[in-house]
Amino acid sequence: MAQNTRRRPLIAGNWKMNGLQADGLDRVRRVAALRAATEVPCDLLVCPPATLLAAISEALAGSPIATGGQDCAPQTDGAYTGDIAARMLKDAGARYVILGHSERRHGHGESDAQIRAKSEAALAAGLMAIICVGETLAERDGGQTLAVLSTQVKASVPPNATAVNTVIAYEPVWAIGTGRNAAPPQIAEAHAHIRATLRQGLGAEADRMRILYGGSVKPANARETLALADVDGALVGGASLDVDAFWAIAQACPKL
Ligand code: PGA
């Protein structure tokens, strides 16, 4: 099996429910200016709130920085008040969508089956799905981490997922927004396990698929985290709201 497959890292900013027109546009323009002046050894993605997606996609047109949504509905259209279809995100300029974030799984009670249905809708709309998995602190303390990850990967990732249309993000729930980055051996173990689980369903395609780490990634821990085997980038929450921090994380990617 191709253990040494080179995967270009992806640094994705998840703004969550932060940003209005003025500060959001200012932030991406500053990232775009940095990117126009300097190469980075990674792909860059910004996932703003849905209200800013069209304006930010337009502001980034012509730049190599992609945009993405933070969730989508499994349906294509219809009477679903407040929901947003994958093709609507695409229509607003998105290339990616984050699915199954722990704030959706735990905050909104989303199941693996729902996340898989949303992922299928995203792929059908031509979006790249970033499917998040991760254990809670109680699950880690109970020795359940690897079992939880296996279950989530098997039940959330659609069978037609490929390295071209899908990215996995490992986000231990206890490390998100807490300032508590998982320790390198914990991250390495989880990523290797996720890739082994993906191989069971997808075969060699799993070796080409990017697996991001997310959970309190910041400039101080980015280099060490991004250098780990099977870590192919980061999903960055809080630090993505700070242009200098986001840029420093992008620059911390290992050169291919
Ligand atoms: P954090 O969030 O970087 O603020 O911990 C990561 C995420 O939730 O994607």
Atom of ligand 1 nearest to the CA of 218: 3
Question: Which residues have C-beta atoms less than 6 Å from ligand 1?
Answer: 14, 171, 176-177, 214-217, 235-239
Q: How far does residue 174's CA lie from ligand 1's centre (Å)?
A: 10
Q: Which position among 101, 103, 135, 139 bears the catalytic label?
A: 101
Confidence band for 2, pLDDT divided at 50, 70 and 90: very low
Over residues 167-216, the pLDDT tens digits come to 999 999 999 988 888 999 999 999 999 999 999 999 999 999 999 999 99
Distance from residue 19's CA to the centre of ligand 1 (Å) = 15
State the average pLDDT over residues 152-156: 98
User: From ligand 1's centre to the CA of 168, what distance in Å?
Assistant: 14
Q: Catalytic: which of 103, 135, 139, 171?
A: 171
- From atom 3 of ligand 1, which residue's Cα is the shortest distance away? 237
Which atom, in ligand 1's list, is nearest to the CA of 132?
9
| 3-state class (DSSP) for residue 60 | coil
72 in Cβ contact with 122 (< 8 Å):
yes
Long-range Cβ contact pairs of 217-223 (< 8 A, separation 24 or more)? 217/181, 217/249, 218/181, 218/245, 218/249, 219/245, 219/248, 219/249, 219/252, 221/181, 222/248, 222/249, 222/252, 223/252
Structure tokens at 45: 């993605």
pLDDT digits (tens, 9 = 90+) for 211-253: 999 999 999 999 999 999 999 999 999 999 999 999 999 999 9
Concerning whether 101 is annotated as a catalytic residue, the answer is: yes
Q: Could you tell me the distance, in angstroms and rounded to a whole number, from the CA of residue 93 to the centre of ligand 1?
A: 23
Q: Assess contact for 71 and 39: CB atoms under 8 A.
A: no
Identify the pLDDT of residue 180.
84
**Residue closest to 234 by CA, chosen among 178, 195, 176, 185:** 176
> Ligand 1 pocket test: which of 71, 217, 240 has the largest number of ligand atoms within 8 Å of its C-beta?
217
Please report the domains of the chain, with CATH numbers, ordered by start residue.
10-251 (3.20.20.70)
**Residue 5: what pLDDT?**
65
Is the pLDDT score of 78 beyond 80? yes
Q: Judge whether residue 69 has pLDDT over 70.
A: yes
- Name which residue sits closest to atom 6 of ligand 1, judged by CA: 237
Strand 233-236 to strand 10-14: parallel, antiparallel, or no bridges (unpaired)? parallel
pLDDT tens digits, one per residue of 18-62: 999 999 999 999 999 999 999 999 999 999 999 999 999 999 999
pLDDT at 3 over 80: no
Model confidence over 99-126: pLDDT tens digits? Answer: 999 999 999 999 999 999 999 999 999 9
What is the model's pLDDT at position 255? 87
Kindly tell me if the per-residue pLDDT of 8 is higher than 80.
Answer: yes
Q: What's the predicted TM-score (pTM) here?
A: 0.97
pLDDT band at 95 (very low <50, low <70, confident <90, very high): very high
Helical H runs in the chain?
21-37, 50-59, 86-91, 102-105, 112-124, 137-141, 145-156, 184-202, 219-226, 243-251
The residue type of 194 is: I
- Residue 78 CA to ligand 1 center (angstroms) comes to 32
Task: Write the DSSP symbol of residue 75.
Answer: S
Alpha-carbon torsion (77, 80, 86, 92), positive or negative: positive
Residue closest to 177 by CA, chosen among 137, 131, 217: 217
